[in-house]
Amino acid sequence: MPGHQGETRRTRAAQEWESPGYESPLPVTEKSNPLSRDIDRAGPQQIVRVLQECDAEVFQGDLQTDAEYKRLYSESVVQILVNVAKRVKTILKEPENSLIVLSGCGTSGRIAFLLSNTFNRILARHQQKPVYSYTIAGGDKALLTSQEAPEDSPSLGAQVLEETCAGKKHVLFIGISCGLSAPFVAGQLDFCLNNLDIFTPVLIGFNPAHMARAEPIQGWPHTLREVTERMLDLQRGQRAFVLNPVVGPEAISGSSRMKGGTATKVLLESLLLLGHRAVHRHSEINHQAVLDCIRDYETVHEMTYSKTEELADVIGTAGISLQNQGHVYYLGWKTLGIMGIIDASECIPTFGADFEDIRGFMSGGFSEMNNKEGDLSSLGPQFCIDQKDFLSTILPNLGENDTVIFIFTVDEDFADVEKLAGQVKSKTSNLQAICHEHGGCRFPVNINNIFASKILRITWTSSAGDAEDGFFMRLQWELSTKWILNAISTGAHILKGKVYKNYMIDLKVTNSKLYRRAIGMLQRFTGCSWMQGERALLRALYRVEELTEEMITADVSRHTQAANASDKVVPTALVVLQTGCSVSEAQAHLREGSVVRDAVEACLTSGRH
């Protein structure tokens, strides 16, 4: 009865993290999840089980009717989804001079990009002009690489939005910040609030409003909490909307790419799909339609995690590759290729990974990406995402330590997949397939020979509907793939020892949110004060034993810029704080122990005696 046991564990965990004193005053999105406390010591099977349970929390209903936190299925959340979907419908019916802008930072911006393209494609099928646009902090470079610094600028956000919407008369703006924390999005929402004759702003995030970020933003008179409160006031008259169900703490504390990204995709797709169906099929936008849509996504969760064994196998293989200084490559087709590129790009800030560790490539490269700024490959190897780049730069040196994961669906030209697999096979036997087929259309039987049965194949029930159903199926495949890839990259980094308990101890402190998160972690593990933690972090970041006055008084933005060039900053600061050793000794200690988690753990345990 693993299902029941899982439910009991989830209920117990929720009772724990929902209690008012639990890791107060951290917002839900920054708390650590009781379900994943020991994930750093788990094997692949156990990692999958823990992730499955944490992800199931996204769909958790209200535990009690008067529960403090609103959930995805809560009445008030569903009502807002209905209201926003109706706004989508209005814009689709009068698209002239109208725009729907999706925006965010990091993962949130990447999802904004993905969905804006998909829904424009749906419109094209109906011979309608594009209505969607996206903005992402840091521009298109941030689709493929971590550009965390622009996230801190409200004025940049406002400026980019103004440029995107020039000349438009009606704009539905949907700003995503999973932690209700990004100043870039705050600036955009504020711009909308100052121009309500044109804009209807919507904020998506996964904390209650009173947990929205309240610390002052450099060079700006407002905070995100204040903006959220202004929007809540306007919500009564339906002039602004705040969609902020709680989905529980992340499996890896603060890693909003996981559940945050998932819930963003579910919420946005649900409300956009309903808007589209209302126009193209004349279906009603009501509570039941929203609930049905979310339930479909819940089924995707069940289908995906029914492949526990296969998923654990891939995690194990990918983990061995990373442990042996090998690499993991995702080779994907169409939007599943983009899912691979997104997942790979997130490993750098999350786990302090090198960009070579996990990389994504897609068939067609930039011509398939369809991003605003076009081909970015001239910016450097990190921007070379075409499968052709894989063939020319990676394949010649591919070896047995590397794992290559093919991500495709039954809609692809299978001969293409087969040809590429043949080329890879001549270099490594670590080939894996992640593939989606449906009742009406199955893969040829030789798929088993090609991938030596290392296949994670999901067979979906197809609804014999119209083109929109085809799109909906692809959206489900994308979500399923997101869960699978998040599990692979997280699991492989856990096996490599990049996670301590359920914290990303080797994160890059490249913006103010991550900077504060890092100091919070130092406090938690060593019991030091905020100031002691900050000083140790800065010493590790600038690699100095003594901080200069200039370093102490500089803005956080200067520190976060410097963080790009530094390595193992948080682990170094931890060792310094715990043992009282010098920065160079701490660095030497970490170099000796190749596994960051073990080095940190040994130091923390010895400090306690």
Q: Which residues bind ligand F1P (CB under 6 A)?
A: 104-108, 148, 151, 176-179, 181-182, 256-257, 260, 346, 349, 513-514
Q: Shortest approach of ligand F1P to residue 137 CB, angstroms?
A: 7
Q: Shortest approach of ligand F1P to residue 179 CB, angstroms?
A: 3
Give whole-number Cα distances, 3 to 7, 8, 458, 498, in Å: 6, 9, 20, 29
- Distance, CA of 54 to CA of 72 (rounded, Å): 15
Helix (H, G, I), strand (E, B) or coil at 104: strand
Closest to ligand F1P by CB, 258 vs 290, is: 258
Provide long-range contacts, Cβ within 8 A and 24+ apart, for 40-43: 40/494, 40/497, 40/499, 40/500, 40/501, 40/502, 40/597, 42/494, 43/312, 43/316
Q: Which residue is nearest to ligand F1P (CB)?
A: 106
- Distance, CA of 34 to CA of 100 (rounded, Å): 38
For the chain, what's the residue count?
609
Q: Shortest approach of ligand F1P to residue 239 CB, angstroms?
A: 23
Closest to ligand F1P by CB, 342 vs 583, is: 342
Q: Shortest approach of ligand F1P to residue 47 CB, angstroms?
A: 19
Determine the longest span between alpha carbons in the chain, in angstroms: 71
447 touches 415 (CB < 8 A): no
Closest to ligand F1P by CB, 256 vs 321, is: 256
Paired sense of beta strands 241-243 and 132-136, if any: unpaired
Element (H, E) at 100: strand 98-104
Q: Shortest approach of ligand F1P to residue 411 CB, angstroms?
A: 29
Closest to ligand F1P by CB, 118 vs 181, is: 181
Closest to ligand F1P by CB, 488 vs 514, is: 514
- Alpha-carbon Rg for the chain, nearest whole angstrom, is 23
Q: Shortest approach of ligand F1P to residue 488 CB, angstroms?
A: 17
Tokens of 91: 């814009």
Nearest Cα residue to 335 out of 261, 409, 270: 409
Closest to ligand F1P by CB, 98 vs 135, is: 135
Closest to ligand F1P by CB, 70 vs 513, is: 513
Q: Shortest approach of ligand F1P to residue 258 CB, angstroms?
A: 9
Give whole-number Cα distances, 147 to 156, 206, 336, in Å: 14, 22, 22
Q: Shortest approach of ligand F1P to residue 510 CB, angstroms?
A: 8
Buried-state track 113-144, b at ≥16 Cβ within 10 A, e below 16 = bbbbbbbbbbbeeeeeeebbbbbbbbbbbbbb
Closest to ligand F1P by CB, 108 vs 117, is: 108
